[in-house]
Chain A
Amino acid sequence: KAGVTQTPRYLIKTRGQQVTLSCSPISGHRSVSWYQQTPGQGLQFLFEYFSETQRNKGNFPGRFSGRQFSNSRSEMNVSTLELGDSALYLCASRPGYGEQYFGPGTRLTVT
């Protein structure tokens, strides 16, 4: 089985721009979660989608949003980028509940 894939792997954006990251879960997995990883804050939960519905949400501003498509692929969007949004964005998938499988992440640099 193919693992979780994330695109792009690396991204450089300028303050004020917006960005869209993509995640393709493992085949058959209906849940996709997004996390932000930074050296100072560690891994922080952004949101989880299950069957196209947001099931859980972390404590991030409204500039961070996501969605899930009928094929379980998910996208997250960050608008009006700030320098502090520079981070590794990780996506994880699982069938419904249980063990999460992480992708390799998208490294976002905001300049």
Chain B
Amino acid sequence: TQLLEQSPQFLSIQEGENLTVYCNSSSVFSSLQWYRQEPGEGPVLLVTVVTGGEVKKLKRLTFQFGDARKDSSLHITAAQPGDTGLYLCAGVKETSGSRLTFGEGTQLTVNP
């Protein structure tokens, strides 16, 4: 059983469309991170959110941490082919020290 459930698992959209990826859990996390991974490479950190209700914007990407710190979302506006990749959420539980728990990932394909 995954502690972090990501949805959707796969997403294929056209350039210019908007999309949202969700990351949900029944556990509380002290912080939550979003990564993007491309084939043949390791994940690259996009953002860290630590406060319930926090919203962070990174150009066309908007990240939100739920008020109860159990869920998060990633919204991409006007997606571009360069956004294609595997998006992973990862959380740090208050009781697990510094270890990261990852969601299964969302494979995003943006078609030109």
A interface vs B, CB < 8 Å? 4, 31, 33, 35, 42-45, 48, 55-56, 58, 90, 92, 97, 99-105
Contacts and interface: CB of A to CB of B under 8 A. Distances in A.
Given A42-B105, A43-B43, 6 more contacts: A31-B98, A42-B102, A42-B104, A44-B102, A100-B45, A103-B42
Nearest to B104: A42
Contacts of B103: 42
A13 B27 CA distance: 38
12 contacts: A43-B43, A43-B88, A43-B90, A43-B102, A55-B97, A58-B99, A99-B45, A99-B48, A103-B42, A104-B41, A104-B42, A105-B42
A101 B33 CA distance: 12
Given A42-B2, A42-B103, A42-B105, A56 B43 contact: no
Nearest to A31: B98
Interface in B45-104: 45, 48, 88, 90, 96-104
A48 B40 contact: no
Contacts of A48: 98-99
A65 B67 CA distance: 38
Contacts of A99: 45, 48
A56 B104 contact: no
A103 B42 CA distance: 5
B11 interface: no
B95 to A, nearest CB: 12
Contacts of A105: 41-42
Contact of B100 (A55, A100, A104): A100
A33 B105 CA distance: 19
A42 B104 CA distance: 5
A83 B99 CA distance: 26
Nearest to B92: A97
